[in-house]
Chain A
Amino acid sequence: MSTALVLDRVGKRFGTQQAVADMSLSITPGEMVVLLGPSGCGKTTSLRMIAGFLQPTSGDIRLDGRSILPLAAHQREMGIVFQSYALFPHLSVARNVAFGLEMRRMDRPAIDARVAEMLQMVKLETFASRLPRHLSGGQQQRVALARALAIHPRLLLLDEPLSNLDAALRLEMAREIRLLQRERGITTVMVTHDQTEAMALADRLVVMRDGHVQQIGRPEDLYERPANPFVAGFIGGSNILTGQHESGRLVLAGGGIVVLTRNAGIGLATLAIRPESIRLAPAGTAGCIEGEVELCTYLGTAIEHVVRLDPEAAVVVRGPGLGADAARRYDPGTRVALSWTQADERLFNAEGRPLPMMEPNEIKQGEKEWTS
């Protein structure tokens, strides 16, 4: 019953603007794939092309091997959950869920049974006769989910389904969606700009930027082996430092000099280093670079320092805020030494490709995945 989705070099052009370029993606039955990227990266455009609201200007989209491009949106049998929930305001919760079934001309008893089943699934049985606007945001989103799943869709498409919910509800809803999706084994594509949300829900992530796919992979692949500085910055919020790379040192544009943990070639290079990977020590201690603390913020579970390296570059450093290994707090103005281990240091060449870091064979394996 699950469906395989293939995007085959799909492109979408609006006038002179290439919203999505040559996007290829193969999703296996039952898989949940999240399209992730900043606004304007083409993720929503891609989802709308799958849904049939937009027609690609090039490439093909196939479900179980058959192109769906000739099908109009209302013939594609997709269950879509929208950011704004998009419930029908004039219909009760039950009628909302029944809508797709009515379109399929099912008989009334079958519709009623299915609606009851779906409402039970999202734990809203007692709300059947309410109107959507008398429901909370989370409840409305669950109705939207029930409505989308009621029709046994071939694909479930989620367009920023959590961004209108408050933080506490967001995690709960994310877990609920994930459980339902797993349980029913329904192939799902979700769009979001929130990397935490994406990591929590995805089997695989597709990071996009300016219409181009940056990297496709499991959350841990992207986190541990980002394909380029953009992915490194987007997933995990790495600090990105660009400079001239020569004999194991990175000379930043603003004059700061980072002593790298290894020596790998020369030329323009970008260093990505995660806030959690940097350790602070009093100035004078051996380290990769020294800087001056600009800001120290206590976040409960974490302590965050902003450290200025030179007039043009500053990095964020995050350490544990609690327990025995709680990070030491440095006052603004204090000089500190920054250090990290070789495993945490990601270097990219001028083209944005990762420079070898560990065993060469491991890199090759990774690269295959990035280009697939």
Chain B
Amino acid sequence: MLDPVTGEYRVVGPGHTFKSITEKISRIVLTTHTPVGWFFGLLLGGGGIALLLTAVTWLFLRGVGIWGLDMPVAWGFAIINFVWWIGIGHAGTLISAILLLFKQEWRNSINRFAEAMTIFAVVCAGMFPLIHVGRPWLAYWLFPYPNSMAVWPQFRSPLLWDVFAVSTYATISVVFWYIGMIPDLATMRDRAQSKFTQFAYGLFAVGWRGSVRHWMRYETASLLLAGLATPLVLSVHTVISFDFAVATLPGWHTTIFPPYFVAGAVYSGFAMVITLAIPIRKFYHLEDLITTRHIDNMGKVMLTTGLIVAYGYFMELFMSWFSASHWEYFAFWNRLFGPMGWSYWVLITCNIALPQLMWSRAFRVNPTLMFIMSFIINIGMWFERFVIVVTSLYRDYLPSSWGTYRATRWDYSTFLGTMGLFTFLFFLFVRFIPMIPMSEVRMLLPQSKVKPPAEPLGQPVHEAGD
């Protein structure tokens, strides 16, 4: 909808003031009446955490043998889920950083929870390599530190690069999220009624008082963090793709991996943002702030990144023929028509065929259809990682060592458990932290602009003759 005064597209529904926006968003947190549905969601997430704890405890007691890992498929669910979760996280950074740099103001109302999604997804992702190392209590050996064994990490391995990429990503995401939250925490402090709430928000608001000098430094720091997070997010998934691409294995050893992994990450991440945004706006009546325009724009981003991913798939196929390498050719024939070929066709259906429906505007502005589409894409993106990891491994050079891969119940419980953890953290977030950045949405209102004072009508500005 166009704004009658400025002629620009409106991001926020009409008729809002600074106060109405602040009240609408802060009320969700400061209310004393927690919706029953929230407890239900938290319980659901808690159940998932219980499952995760069970699976991980059993894993620590028995070792990674309880998973379906074996020769020739030594990388299974752990790496698939790691890449899937971290990919989901990337849309949060894209929304908060890249769209900020491109001055896409519509992203202001969704960036806080997209960023929260990033952090929780990284928490889930980070768990998989840690529990996969076999002796998770020694996982700190991955970091370079002076030790009595006098050994140091091997800096030429992409797996070690991963340690630095993911730990940096987690740290910067948390810092970016927290810095962005300080002014809103100050608002919560000022609006809270009870002493305890005032104290708690006051503690985290670090005494923010909205001085314009502070705001200017804050804006600079936000822009710099965005400028730093942008190359970071690209490098994180690039490094993850190096885990595969640096190996000389048909199906992994390709130069298209870094860009196509990054595009795939953004693709699945936006799908996850939609999965979260549509129920939230419905449940908390935030249709004015997360409008159909947001869903429409996210649909366009998904369509674009989906096509980049499609290009990646096509290029992989093309290269398997063009390279004239027997092994490459076989790897792809096996991927498409081998015993696990069904997984490739699930991937093509979910990631390439069905998302083409998003060319239609009527589809993109329909929240229900987009909600379903977001699930389809996330299933497709999970299968993409499954296809890359499993179908490249289970039939290698020697037919005598061919095998198959079958995930066990512990694989499934761990995966479902991380979904529970994600849900649990997300429900805590929407209850205790303002999920839409109030200070940034205020800037979207037309009255935030500094205008010259209205000239009194009918009076000459300069008296003649003086």
Are these two chains actual partners, yes or no?
no
B contact residues vs A (CB 8 Å cutoff): none
A contact residues vs B (CB 8 Å cutoff): none
